[in-house]
Structure 1
C-alpha cells in the first residue's frame, strides 16, 4: 500500500536532482504541451510556484530555420523565452540531426535557455506520419542516437535531454533499449511518458513500464510522466516507482496550482488548498490579460477559449460555460460569458 499524505507529514520524499550542471529543485517539471504551455501559462505556474523546471511548447526546428532565413520574427512558441526567469527548457522536434543541432545551438547561445529537450514522444499524425519525427523515431534508435550526439555537441555546455514514450505500440515496447541509446549519445536526462504512441492519451499510463527503465540508466536521471493529476499521485510516483523526477502535464491545464501542492507533499508539508471558485475566476481573467497583451484583443480572445474551458473543467455548469465561451470573439463577449456562466458552485 502506498503511504498517504497524512502518514508522511514532515518527512521529505524526494531529493532535488541534476540535469547536467542544472539543479532541479523541487524535482517536479512542467511538461511541454503544444498549444498550451506558452509564456502566459508559464507565468501562471511561476506565480504559484512548485515547478523546478518549466518548458515551452515544442518548436518545429525546420520552421525555426525557415523563419530565420526569411529574417522573420521567431516562432510564437518562443514568446517570452529571451526575457523570462530561468530555469527554462525549450523542446524541439524534427528528424534531421543537422537542423536540430543548428536550432539547439541558437537556443543555447542566443536565447541562453537552461535545457534543450528533444521530442521523441509526440504521437500526433502530423508529426509522426507526415514528418517522420516525434515517436516515429522510436523505430530508429540509431537515428535517435545520431540526433542526440549532434545536438549535444552543438549546445555544449547547455544540457540536452530527451522525451520518449514506451514504444510505438504495445507489441513493440523498446524504451529500455532506447534509454541506453539516449544515455550513450550524451543526453543529460530522460523523460518517459508511460504510454505508447498508438495509445495516444487513452487508457492509463504504465508506471511499472517506466520504473523498469531505471536499471538501464547508469549516469542520468529518469523522469516519469503520465496521469499525475494529484499530489498523492506524485508522492506515489516517487515512493513506488523510483523515478528521480516527475513531469506534470495535462492536469496542470485545469490546475496550475498542482505543482505547488505536489512540491509541498514531497517536502512533507501541509498541502495548499485549491483556490476558491472566485479566486479561480480572477486567475483566468489574469491569464486572459497576459494572452491579450501579446496577441491583441481579437486573437487573444480566440486563443483564450481553450484555456477558459480548462479552468472550468470538472465544475458544475462547465458544459454550459464551454458552449458559450467557445464562440466569443471580443473582450466584451468574453467578460460577459465569464460573468454569466463561469461555474460558481
Structure 2
C-alpha cells in the first residue's frame, strides 16, 4: 500500500484522486463516488475565474459548477482557470474564505480550443512558464494556508514537451503538489498516456508530490502505476464517469485485498437512476433530464446494445421519456451464451 499523499497539511488517503472534469464532476457525481468510497480527494468541475467574478459583481447566483461545494464533506478541491493572476487570486481567496475548500487547483492542462486558443488559458499557458509562475505565486499568497496545486500536460505538442521545466516552475512558485496528464495538449486524448515521461518529472521536483494521470481504467492499472512509476498519487479521470465504483476497486487492490467485482447490470442501472434523481432534484426535470443524457451514455459504454441505447437516450427531454428508454433499452442481464 503506498503511503498517504501529503499536500501541504492535507493528508489524502488513499492517494487516489478523482479528476476535475468539465460537464461531469458535479455534486451529484461526487456524491455517488463518495457513497462507493475509495477516493482520497474529490474535485469539482473546473470553474472559469473570470466568469465567477462577473457573477459576483452582478450579484447573480454563483456558478452551477460550485453547486454543493459549501456543504459537502471534505476534503474537496476546486479547480479554476484563467490567465490573469489578479483574477485568479481574487477567486481563490473567495473559495477559501466563503466555501472553505480543501485545495485550490489551477488548470494548466485543458486542451480544448475554447479554453486554449480563444481564452489563452489551460494548456496554452504551458508555453509561458513565467506567466504560470506569476499566477501560482499570486494564488498561493491569496489562499494561504490552503494549499494550491497545479495540473499540467507534458507540453503543448510532441515537438514542445517542457514538463520538466514547468514542474520546477510550479514548485518554485509555491504550489503544494503537481498533477501531470501523460499526453500533450495537441494529443488531446489520442494514443496512450506516457507514464515514463510522467515518472521522469519526479527527479525535477525537490519536495512536492507528483500525481500521475492518464488511462487508469482498472484497479490493476492503478496498482501498476505505483509499482512501476515514481509517483506519489494517481488521478482517475474519464474511466470513472460510467464506473464510479472504480475508486473503491482501486483502493482495495492497493490494500492487497480482493478487488470488488463490477456491480451487476441491474445494480449499475440502479446507480444510474439514483444519479438521475440527484441531478433532477437540483436542476428540475427539464434541465436535469437534458444534463443526464451524457451521464447515461457513460453508464452504457461498453455494454451490449450501448449504441442503440445512446441513440435513444440522447434526445430525451422528460422523466417519463428517460425512464421509458432505460426500461426498454438499458441491459439488466448479460446475454445468454
Give the TM-score of the pair, scaled to structure 1: 0.96
- Residue 141 of structure 1: how far off its partner (Å): 0.2
After superposing on structure 2, the runs of 4+ consecutive aligned residues of structure 1 that deviate more than 2 Å are: none
Structure 2 equivalent of residue 7 of structure 1? none
Tell me whether 1:209 sits opposite 2:183 in the alignment.
Answer: no
Q: Aligned partners of 1:213, 1:38: CA distance in 2, in Å?
A: 31
The answer to which structure, 1 or 2, has the higher relative contact order (CA under 8 A, 6+ apart) is 1
Structure 1 equivalent of residue 185 of structure 2? 197
Structure 2 equivalent of residue 306 of structure 1? 294
Structure 1 equivalent of residue 242 of structure 2? 254
Give the TM-score of the pair, scaled to structure 2: 0.98
Q: Aligned partners of 2:297, 2:41: CA distance in 1, in Å?
A: 25
Structure 2 equivalent of residue 75 of structure 1? 63
Is there any run of 5+ residues in structure 2 with no aligned partner, and where? none
Aligned counterpart for 2:285 among listed residues 293, 297, 307: 297
Is there any run of 5+ residues in structure 1 with no aligned partner, and where? 1-11
Q: Aligned partners of 1:278, 1:17: CA distance in 2, in Å?
A: 35
Structure 2 equivalent of residue 149 of structure 1? 137
Deviations 1:84-143 (A, max 9, x none): 000000000000000000000000111000000000000000000000000000000000
Indicate if the aligned counterparts of 2:154 and 2:161 stay in contact, CA closer than 8 A: yes
Structure 2 equivalent of residue 288 of structure 1? 276
Q: Aligned partners of 1:134, 1:17: CA distance in 2, in Å?
A: 25
SS across alignment from 1:57: strand
Indicate if the aligned counterparts of 2:200 and 2:230 stay in contact, CA closer than 8 A: no
* Number of corresponding residues: 333
SS across alignment from 2:249: helix
Indicate if the aligned counterparts of 2:313 and 2:322 stay in contact, CA closer than 8 A: yes
Aligned counterpart for 2:207 among listed residues 219, 226, 230: 219
Q: Aligned partners of 1:144, 1:327: CA distance in 2, in Å?
A: 41
SS across alignment from 1:168: strand
Q: Aligned partners of 1:55, 1:43: CA distance in 2, in Å?
A: 11
Tell me whether 1:173 sits opposite 2:161 in the alignment.
Answer: yes
SS across alignment from 1:56: strand
Deviations 1:28-59 (A, max 9, x none): 00000000000000001000000000000000
Structure 2 equivalent of residue 89 of structure 1? 77
